[in-house]
A and B are shown apart, each in its own frame.
Chain A
Amino acid sequence: MLQIEGMYPPQITAMLDLAESYVLLNRSGKTQRDLLRGRTLINLFFEDSTRTRTSFELAGKRLGADVVNMGVSTSSVNKGETLLDTAGTLNAMQTDLLVIRHGESGAANLLAQKVDAAVINAGDGTHEHPTQALLDALTIRRRRGRLEALTVAICGDVLHSRVARSNIHLLTTMGARVRVVGPPTLMPSEVARLGVEVFHDMKRGLADVDIVMMLRLQRERMTRGLVPSEREYFRFFGLDAEKLRHAKPDALVMHPGPMNRGVEIDSAVADDPARSLIREQVEMGVAVRMAVLDILSRRARRND
């Protein structure tokens, strides 16, 4: 699973349906704990991400896989070993499932060409983060019963966001209307060609939307001069109760985490149990990753 772009609606629906069943199993504590018994899952994280790594780790363990975490600080990548050397090593270890997070776009695609294991992209540069989009879609679907014909506003640093790209592909594929909202300096070139509407004003961008998805603003963007200051950003693009009033009265708020409170989102909104889905997103993350591991290991399991 490298990217959402190119996936068809039935594939996405099937994945969400399976994830839905894992949500129920997880809640009832009746997970089938031996589905991946004897399989090895390696978490290969070239960028720190405690929550995504933990989510994959938990998903793998709940299905009975042997899970190994390889962080960049503990690997030989710092000693000049290339990504493909690492791939060769992991191949020799007969890994079944390989979860990769990397700072460069296309890193997961490159790795997938060189290893036998099923590769799951857990975020590559500013390209895609497919399991995040799936978990977001599952979260929305469980609350609203559908994705089709909903209006979703994705707000903030779209330019540097793999979460935004994967969500745009998934939501437009499933028939949702997608808006992107943010300052022009944080909008990718020709982003409208991805099938979205572009807004530079939060109030207009949020008008009558069903879902507000906030993106994380990384601090280094400020040093590159794309945004003059945090207070200016929060004033115009931070989500607070006042701006949220322009959305539908029952509009829901999402954030992939970790949040910069007071930069892109106000705590009052983030912590409002009536509006915020942020905790639920985390729960759905484990279920979605279990579904992905289940589907990607099917061929290997059939061959046994």
Chain B
Amino acid sequence: MIDPIVMKDTYFRDAHIMDPGNGVDETGNLYVKDGIIVDFGAGLGLPEGAEMIDCDGAVLCPGLVDMRVALGEPGYEYRETIASAAEAAAGGITTLAALPDSRPAIDDPALVRLLTARGEETGSLTILAYAALTRGCRGEELAELGLLREAGAVAFTDGCQAIASTRLMRLALTYARGFGAMVVVHPEEASLAEGGAATEGELATRLGLPGIPAVAEAIVIARDIRLARLTGGSVHFAHVSTAESLTLIRRAKDEGLAVTCDTAPPYFDLNETAIGDFRTYAKLSPPLRRESDRMAIAAGLVDGTIDAVASDHQPRDADDKRLPFALAAAGGSGLVTLLGITMAQVHNASLPLPRAIALLTSGPARLLGSDAGTLVRGATADLCLFAPEHAWKVVAGELPGKAQNTPFDGRALEGTVLGTWKAGRRVYTR
């Protein structure tokens, strides 16, 4: 007989309880028993035997759902392991969706099951697996979408590569539709992006860096919206970064097409000047854009065009980055800064707090078909407790986890995670 897991029941006192997916935004107490949210409310008393956490008015929301994360495993363990990514609990994240363009690519049902199981082993993280849209993420022939879906793949994507062939993309959207699955696109026209290191324009010209025209993004988005209309398939654009992309997506949504998108913190917090003097830690894919695009993305968070904010975590080793700019690997780490940078839009711009939390919890959960990201009674108690006004500073080299390649080094942030709970068990304490 297996020993039952000993777990303390927890009573959160005086919390700002926030569950935007269910319209909850109130001050009160919340009770977790056996890893399940039993009840919450202003009048809820301290149950006998429960451990009390005095929240002192801090925000208690669902554990964050990060819908775009590259794990180092399998294949790039020198960059990060699943165990080190699990330290993402420090960022309040309890569920993440892992990209399939690893080595090997996640294009076999057994790999989907493995990845999911590896998440469970950490005890602090639910890993949802994206599966490869094409075999080996090579963009040539469709992967076994049905079998992969059956094994638990939440959606299909080739990771950091758009499908170059229009015919293949049409086929993918059509076939995936039969399994009710969404196709996630890295919107960047490959032949325009080839060899590029920065957004084409004055800055790239001054630095002598090969440019990628910003329109490389809108070209793929325009094409794939038309294919979604043609096929009835469901398409999601990852890390959108330009004003023009949002205009196209807004129009597609108005038309009622199954088109959604996310963005990542660098695209509403930084602009291209962050790469000035060849700072490779700010080399990302897609590259940082001009200020007018950054402002449009920030506005898209508020007006609802953008459905989710994902960290777009891309772990890189120092050796991947300590190279001349064009040779350095693109990508930034983002797990532990996801909440803080999003909160900067609450503090310094016009993003309402409930909308910010929705973009980090219920929004991505809905897209992924996950039952995470909610505080309904009877739900698994994945929780994030954070002090929205408490300040901290991002220091590369001192962040939790292995990947230290943050584009936000030196940034002062307001919004500090105080604790994270996975299925009622405390997995992070500040």
Q: Which residues of A contact B (CB under 8 A)?
A: 5, 82-84, 102, 104-107, 109-110, 124-128, 162, 165, 188-191, 193-194
Interchain residue pairs A-B with the least CB separation, the first 10? A127-B208, A104-B324, A106-B278, A126-B208, A188-B205, A105-B208, A193-B202, A190-B202, A189-B200, A107-B324
Report the Cα distance A150→B112, complex, angstroms: 67
**Which residue on chain B has the smallest CB distance to residue A166?**
B208
Do B206 and A194 touch across chains, with their CB atoms under 8 A apart?
A: yes
CB distance from B188 to the nearest CB of A (A): 17
Do B211 and A105 touch across chains, with their CB atoms under 8 A apart?
A: no
For residue B204, CB closer than 8 A to chain A, the reply is yes
Report the Cα distance A127→B205, complex, angstroms: 8
Do A82 and B323 touch across chains, with their CB atoms under 8 A apart?
A: yes
Report the Cα distance A102→B278, complex, angstroms: 15
B202-240: CB near A (< 8 Å → 1, else 0) gives 101111111101000000000000000000000000000
Write out the residue numbers on chain B whose beta carbons fall within 8 Å of the beta carbon of A5.
206
**Which residue on chain B has the smallest CB distance to residue A128?**
B208
Do A106 and B205 touch across chains, with their CB atoms under 8 A apart?
A: no
Do most interface residues of chain A lie in helix, strand or loop, or is the interface mixed?
mixed
For residue B411, CB closer than 8 A to chain A, the reply is no
Write out the residue numbers on chain A whose beta carbons fall within 8 Å of the beta carbon of B205.
165, 188-191, 193-194
For residue B277, CB closer than 8 A to chain A, the reply is yes
Q: Beyond A82-B319, A82-B323, A106-B325, is A125–B211 a contact (Cβ under 8 Å)? A: no
CB distance from A169 to the nearest CB of B (A): 9
For residue B327, CB closer than 8 A to chain A, the reply is yes
Q: Which residues of B contact A (CB under 8 A)?
A: 200-202, 204-211, 213, 277-278, 319, 322-327
Report the Cα distance A175→B80, complex, angstroms: 52
Report the Cα distance A190→B214, complex, angstroms: 13
CB distance from B159 to the nearest CB of A (A): 26
CB distance from A111 to the nearest CB of B (A): 9
Report the Cα distance A201→B234, complex, angstroms: 49
Write out the residue numbers on chain B whose beta carbons fall within 8 Å of the beta carbon of A110.
278, 322-324
Report the Cα distance A41→B68, complex, angstroms: 49
Report the Cα distance A160→B65, complex, angstroms: 44
**Which residue on chain B has the smallest CB distance to residue A107?**
B324
Write out the residue numbers on chain A whose beta carbons fall within 8 Å of the beta carbon of B322.
82, 84, 110
Q: Beyond A124-B208, A189-B201, A189-B205, is A105–B325 a contact (Cβ under 8 Å)? A: yes
Among B200, B202, B324, which residue has its beta carbon within 8 angstroms of that of A102? B324
Do A83 and B323 touch across chains, with their CB atoms under 8 A apart?
A: yes
Do A106 and B206 touch across chains, with their CB atoms under 8 A apart?
A: no
Using A83-B323, A165-B206, A194-B206 as known contacts, list a sample of 6 further A-B pairs with CB atoms less than 8 Å apart, ordered by residue number in A.
Answer: A82-B319, A105-B278, A109-B277, A126-B208, A126-B210, A127-B209
Do A106 and B202 touch across chains, with their CB atoms under 8 A apart?
A: no
**Which residue on chain B has the smallest CB distance to residue A46?**
B324
Q: Beyond A83-B323, A105-B325, is A162–B201 a contact (Cβ under 8 Å)? A: no
**Which residue on chain B has the smallest CB distance to residue A190?**
B202
Report the Cα distance A3→B58, complex, angstroms: 50
Write out the residue numbers on chain A whose beta carbons fall within 8 Å of the beta carbon of B204.
188-189
Report the Cα distance A194→B206, complex, angstroms: 8
CB distance from A103 to the nearest CB of B (A): 8
Do B200 and A104 touch across chains, with their CB atoms under 8 A apart?
A: no
Q: Beyond A84-B322, A105-B278, A105-B325, is A162–B200 a contact (Cβ under 8 Å)? A: no
Write out the residue numbers on chain B whose beta carbons fall within 8 Å of the beta carbon of A104.
324-327
Q: Beyond A82-B323, A125-B326, is A106–B211 a contact (Cβ under 8 Å)? A: no
Do A189 and B211 touch across chains, with their CB atoms under 8 A apart?
A: yes
Q: Beyond A109-B277, A109-B278, is A127–B327 a contact (Cβ under 8 Å)? A: no
Report the Cα distance A105→B211, complex, angstroms: 12
Q: Beyond A82-B322, A82-B323, A125-B326, is A105–B202 a contact (Cβ under 8 Å)? A: no
CB distance from B254 to the nearest CB of A (A): 32
Do B208 and A125 touch across chains, with their CB atoms under 8 A apart?
A: yes
Report the Cα distance A191→B206, complex, angstroms: 8
CB distance from B198 to the nearest CB of A (A): 10
Among A106, A127, A128, A190, which residue has its beta carbon within 8 angstroms of that of B201? A190
Report the Cα distance A208→B59, complex, angstroms: 70
Report the Cα distance A5→B202, complex, angstroms: 13
Write out the residue numbers on chain B whose beta carbons fall within 8 Å of the beta carbon of A106.
207-209, 278, 324-326
Write out the residue numbers on chain A whose beta carbons fall within 8 Å of the beta carbon of B278.
105-106, 109-110
Do B200 and A165 touch across chains, with their CB atoms under 8 A apart?
A: no
Do A83 and B324 touch across chains, with their CB atoms under 8 A apart?
A: yes
CB distance from B407 to the nearest CB of A (A): 17
Write out the residue numbers on chain A whose beta carbons fall within 8 Å of the beta carbon of B325.
104-106
Write out the residue numbers on chain A whose beta carbons fall within 8 Å of the beta carbon of B327.
104
Report the Cα distance A153→B315, complex, angstroms: 46
CB distance from A28 to the nearest CB of B (A): 39
Write out the residue numbers on chain B whose beta carbons fall within 8 Å of the beta carbon of A191.
205
Write out the residue numbers on chain A whose beta carbons fall within 8 Å of the beta carbon of B207.
105-106, 127
Write out the residue numbers on chain B whose beta carbons fall within 8 Å of the beta carbon of A125.
208-209, 324, 326
Report the Cα distance A126→B201, complex, angstroms: 14
Report the Cα distance A107→B277, complex, angstroms: 11
Do A162 and B323 touch across chains, with their CB atoms under 8 A apart?
A: no
CB distance from A209 to the nearest CB of B (A): 22
**Which residue on chain B has the smallest CB distance to residue A158?**
B205
Do B208 and A165 touch across chains, with their CB atoms under 8 A apart?
A: yes
Report the Cα distance A127→B327, complex, angstroms: 15
Write out the residue numbers on chain B whose beta carbons fall within 8 Å of the beta carbon of A124.
208, 324
Write out the residue numbers on chain B whose beta carbons fall within 8 Å of the beta carbon of A189.
200-202, 204-205, 211, 213
CB distance from B93 to the nearest CB of A (A): 33
Report the Cα distance A188→B326, complex, angstroms: 17
Report the Cα distance A102→B323, complex, angstroms: 12
Do A105 and B326 touch across chains, with their CB atoms under 8 A apart?
A: yes
Report the Cα distance A148→B33, complex, angstroms: 80
Write out the residue numbers on chain A whose beta carbons fall within 8 Å of the beta carbon of B208.
105-106, 124-128, 162, 165
